[in-house]
């Protein structure tokens, strides 16, 4: 029974060593040693039993060997628990003397005091109070008490940083160890009690490895959750020190992975983490947030930069890696210490993202202007569902005019957010945000239904309603049931596919996704007319345009910028209009703001005009009045 239990614990210990992912910087070697002590102690007890069986050792010899092995194991457990706590709480780096002292105590115990113990338990002096026995007991108690009190103090003082699992794990181990030391003279069966003790220690360490390991195995610095805990602790324990939280990112790191492979990419991240650890003092907390994001908590107004560019040639000399990585950071100056560290990182990320595509800038400090934008962004994210439920998103209609007759021939539905707190929120503020978090699909579904409902309502009033185009985003095209959704809306409101046009941005066609093209073709087959929106916005590919089955082209409004004074601009737009006519594809030009622009487009044969020259996007009631007028719609 005991042999099987011992072998089982040894097996668990080996698995734990294989599973551990604790960094050298927090005492990995000490955690390994503590598990090895469990395995070695059980092995020693098992071998001693085998030797006693075959060589018939004296009772005194086996007893002394067992109690000595137990004492060695107990004091080593204490040492390791103390060292691990030092490492995880990062006192080890900040107070080197405190880290050296246990070695002195341990050496004196093993080399001087413990040998006295060998003679203290022999039969002829059992029960006698000797100087040797008293010295051993007092010194052993003092050593264990130092380890026990120091470990408990550090674990609970730094419980925010260590987390509940690690704190209770160390408390349990050292308390059990101290109890065994105090009462081991009452133990008769070292096989059973020692095995139970080793099992408890090993189980606790497995919990520490697999449940609450604070360090990232790839980079050797704090994981996200552990970094947040460290920030909370540092801000609490240092109320008079100012801190800044800095988020660092590597631009276009996906390109590094694609060029050099993910294994080399992971190695680069590890080297960046090592460079940061070497560059900054130990009062700087560092963390890895995943992907290519690093974060640091810096005191006294100091914050990184590493070099704004990191050369892979310098990182891997002799390998011919002619590649430079660009770094950029967002800095958040901590004012509210009670703020959740997650929100602090969000603010630093907001500042960082503002310069993501500005390759000349490498750091941005979160300021009051960004604070307003951030609060606005947070407000929109938290209230977008409520806005749909309360119908605060309203479709505005911008008329599209026939260039020859100046009558309304169509319209585009453009969503506006009428908010009780902020008033009318521009789509330029919330659409890019919703495209990032995926809410744009839900918003589009809502707008499509509102538009269909509005058209149906006006039709029942006897108003001649021109076709209205609605926008289809790339995320919408990824829906497997897009065709069914749009067709069901048309049927629900007794409309025809000719009543609703579908605007798809040019970038969606450039993606060259066969599923996109198939979805578009299916919609065309049932009668919907497809517009390629933002044509010429920077993604243009004539080959893609040739393959995409569109019914109407819609030129990007930037073509109108300065066209009245630019001969080259006139030539470009004239060429596009001429190409569309030869392909027999009607064309809309948006962004028309002046009479001169209108007359130029009319004269070169552009069929449809959209822009402020005729009308801004207007609320539903105002658009209703526009199309209700006699002969308003062509």
Q: According to the model, what pLDDT value does residue 513 have?
A: 61
209, 12 contact by CB (below 8 A): no
Q: According to the model, what pLDDT value does residue 291 have?
A: 86
209, 19 contact by CB (below 8 A): yes
Q: Mean pLDDT highest for which of 6-20, 62-76, 325-339? A: 325-339
Mind giving me the DSSP string for 1-38? -HHHHHHHHHHHHHHHHHH----GGGTHHHHHHHHHHH
Selection from 325, 410, 448, 333 nearest residue 587 by Cα: 410
**Rounded Cα gap, residues 306 and 363, in angstroms:** 11
Higher confidence at residue 544 or residue 124? 544
CA–CA–CA angle 427, 429, 435 (5° rounding): 80
Higher confidence at residue 262 or residue 102? 262
Q: According to the model, what pLDDT value does residue 213 have?
A: 63
Q: According to the model, what pLDDT value does residue 459 have?
A: 93
323, 256 contact by CB (below 8 A): yes
Q: Residue 123 in 3-state DSSP?
A: helix
Higher confidence at residue 294 or residue 177? 294
For residue 295, is pLDDT > 80? yes
Rounded mean pLDDT, 558-581: 78
Q: According to the model, what pLDDT value does residue 487 have?
A: 92
| Burial letters 44-65, b for 16+ CB under 10 A, else e | bbbebbeeeeeeeeeeeeebbb
Q: How far is CA 234 from CA 28, 229, 250, 283, in A?
A: 23, 9, 27, 9
pLDDT band at 460 (very low <50, low <70, confident <90, very high): very high
Listed range (8-22, 112-126, 288-302) with the worst mean pLDDT: 8-22
Residues above pLDDT 70, as percent of the chain: 71
Listed range (111-120, 508-517, 551-560) with the worst mean pLDDT: 111-120
Residue the block writes with tokens 């599973």: 19
Q: Mean pLDDT highest for which of 392-396, 436-440, 504-508? A: 392-396
Q: What would the two tokens of residue 244 be?
A: 């800044």
CA–CA–CA angle 266, 272, 277 (5° rounding): 130
β partners of residue 398 = 412
Element (H, E) at 395: strand 393-402
Handedness of CA 52, 54, 57, 59 (dihedral sign): positive
pLDDT band at 443 (very low <50, low <70, confident <90, very high): very high
For residue 477, is pLDDT > 60? yes
pLDDT band at 623 (very low <50, low <70, confident <90, very high): very high
Q: What are the φ and ψ backbone dihedral angles of 534, each rounded to 5 degrees?
A: 60, 35
Selection from 430, 447, 435, 437 nearest residue 388 by Cα: 447
Q: According to the model, what pLDDT value does residue 568 have?
A: 79
Q: According to the model, what pLDDT value does residue 47 have?
A: 78
For residue 13, is pLDDT > 50? no
Q: Residue 584 in 3-state DSSP?
A: coil
Q: According to the model, what pLDDT value does residue 21 have?
A: 40
Q: How far is CA 84 from CA 32, 273, 365, 501, in A?
A: 10, 22, 37, 66
Q: According to the model, what pLDDT value does residue 579 have?
A: 86
342, 232 contact by CB (below 8 A): no
Q: Is the pTM higher than 0.85?
A: no
Listed range (201-205, 217-221, 423-427) with the worst mean pLDDT: 201-205
Rounded mean pLDDT, 531-547: 65
pLDDT in tens, 352-404: 988 888 878 888 889 888 888 888 888 999 999 999 999 999 999 999 999 99
Q: How far is CA 63 from the centre of its chain?
A: 57
Q: According to the model, what pLDDT value does residue 624 have?
A: 94
For residue 305, is pLDDT > 70? no
Selection from 211, 185, 170, 215 nearest residue 77 by Cα: 170
pLDDT in tens, 324-339: 888 888 999 998 898 9
Q: According to the model, what pLDDT value does residue 359 have?
A: 79
178, 144 contact by CB (below 8 A): yes
pLDDT band at 12 (very low <50, low <70, confident <90, very high): very low
Residues 6+ away with beta carbon under 8 Å from 92: 26, 27, 83, 86, 98, 99
For residue 99, is pLDDT > 80? no
469, 397 contact by CB (below 8 A): no
**Rounded Cα gap, residues 204 and 196, in angstroms:** 12
Count helices and strands (H / E) in the chain. Answer: 25, 15
β partners of residue 363 = 329
Tell how strand 393-402 and strand 408-419 pair up. Answer: antiparallel
Query: What average pLDDT does the structure give for the chain?
Result: 78
For residue 104, is pLDDT > 50? yes
Cα dihedral angle (265, 267, 269, 272), rounded to 10 degrees?
Answer: -130
Higher confidence at residue 552 or residue 185? 552
Q: How far separated are the first and last CA of the chain, in Å rounded?
A: 95
Other CB atoms within 10 A of residue 340 CB: 12
Handedness of CA 483, 485, 486, 487 (dihedral sign): positive
Q: What are the φ and ψ backbone dihedral angles of 235, each rounded to 5 degrees?
A: -65, -30
Element (H, E) at 272: helix 262-279
pLDDT in tens, 123-140: 444 555 556 556 666 766
For residue 23, is pLDDT > 70? no
Listed range (133-142, 216-225, 584-593) with the worst mean pLDDT: 133-142
Q: Mean pLDDT highest for which of 206-220, 293-307, 529-543? A: 293-307
For residue 615, is pLDDT > 50? yes
For residue 70, is pLDDT > 50? yes
For residue 82, is pLDDT > 60? yes
pLDDT band at 576 (very low <50, low <70, confident <90, very high): confident
């Amino acid at each position: 029974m005991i042999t099987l239990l011992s072998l089982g614990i040894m097996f668990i210990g080996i698995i734990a060593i294989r599973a551990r992912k604790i960094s050298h910087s927090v005492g990995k070697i000490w955690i390994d040693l503590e598990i090895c002590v469990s395995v070695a102690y059980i092995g020693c007890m098992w071998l001693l039993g085998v030797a006693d069986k075959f060589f018939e050792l004296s009772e005194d010899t086996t007893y002394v060997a067992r109690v000595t092995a137990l004492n060695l194991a107990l004091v080593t457990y204490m040492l390791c628990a103390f060292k691990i706590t030092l490492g995880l709480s990062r006192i080890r780096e900040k107070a080197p003397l405190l880290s050296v002292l246990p070695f002195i105590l341990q050496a004196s115990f093993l080399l001087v005091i413990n040998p006295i113990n060998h003679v203290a338990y022999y039969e002829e002096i059992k029960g006698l109070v000797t100087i040797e026995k008293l010295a051993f007991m007092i010194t052993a108690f003092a050593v264990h008490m130092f380890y026990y009190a120091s470990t408990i103090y550090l674990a609970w003082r730094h419980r925010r940083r260590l987390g509940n699992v690690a704190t209770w794990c160390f408390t349990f181990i050292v308390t059990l160890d101290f109890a065994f030391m105090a009462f081991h003279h009452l133990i008769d069966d070292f096989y059973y009690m020692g095995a139970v003790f080793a099992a408890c220690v090993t189980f606790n360490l497995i919990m520490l490895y697999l449940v609450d390991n604070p360090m990232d195995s790839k980079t050797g610095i704090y994981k996200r959750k552990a970094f947040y805990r460290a920030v909370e602790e540092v801000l609490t324990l240092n109320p008079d020190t100012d801190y800044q939280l800095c988020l660092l990112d590597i631009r276009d790191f996906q390109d590094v992975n694609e060029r050099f492979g993910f294994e080399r990419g992971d190695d680069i991240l590890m080297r960046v983490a090592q460079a940061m650890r070497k560059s900054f003092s130990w009062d700087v907390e560092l963390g890895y947030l995943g992907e290519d994001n690093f974060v640091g908590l810096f005191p006294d107004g100091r914050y990184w930069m590493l070099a704004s560019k990191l050369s892979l040639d310098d990182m891997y000399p002799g390998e011919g890696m002619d590649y430079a990585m660009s770094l950029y950071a967002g800095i958040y100056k901590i004012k509210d210490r009670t703020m959740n560290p997650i929100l602090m990182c969000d603010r630093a990320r907001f500042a960082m993202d503002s310069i993501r595509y500005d390759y000349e800038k490498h750091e941005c400090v979160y300021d009051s202007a960004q604070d307003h934008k951030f609060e606005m962004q947070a407000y929109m994210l938290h209230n977008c569902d409520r806005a749909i439920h309360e119908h605060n998103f309203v479709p505005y209609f911008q008329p599209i005019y026939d260039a020859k007759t100046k009558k309304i021939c169509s319209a585009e539905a453009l969503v506006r957010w009428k908010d009780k707190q902020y008033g009318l929120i521009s789509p330029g503020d919330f659409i890019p945000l919703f495209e990032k978090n995926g809410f744009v699909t839900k918003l589009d579904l809502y707008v499509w239904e509102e538009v269909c409902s509005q058209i149906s309502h006006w039709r029942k009033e006897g108003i001649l309603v021109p076709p209205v185009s609605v926008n289809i985003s790339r995320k919408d095209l990824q829906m497997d049931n897009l065709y069914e959704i749009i067709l069901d809306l048309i049927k629900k409101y007794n409309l025809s596919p000719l009543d609703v046009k579908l605007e798809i941005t040019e970038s969606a066609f450039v993606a060259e996704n066969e599923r996109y093209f198939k979805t578009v073709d299916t919609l065309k087959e049932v009668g919907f007319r497809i517009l390629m929106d933002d044509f010429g916005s920077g993604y243009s590919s004539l080959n893609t345009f040739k393959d995409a089955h569109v019914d109407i082209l819609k030129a990007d409004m930037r073509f109108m910028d300065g066209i009245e004074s630019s001969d080259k601009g006139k030539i470009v737009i004239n060429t596009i209009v001429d190409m569309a006519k030869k392909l027999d594809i009607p064309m809309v030009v948006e962004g028309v703001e002046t009479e001169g622009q209108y007359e130029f487009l009319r004269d070169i044969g552009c069929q449809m005009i959209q822009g402020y020259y005729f009308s801004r996007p207007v609320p539903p009631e105002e658009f209703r009045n526009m199309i209700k007028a006699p002969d308003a719609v062509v």
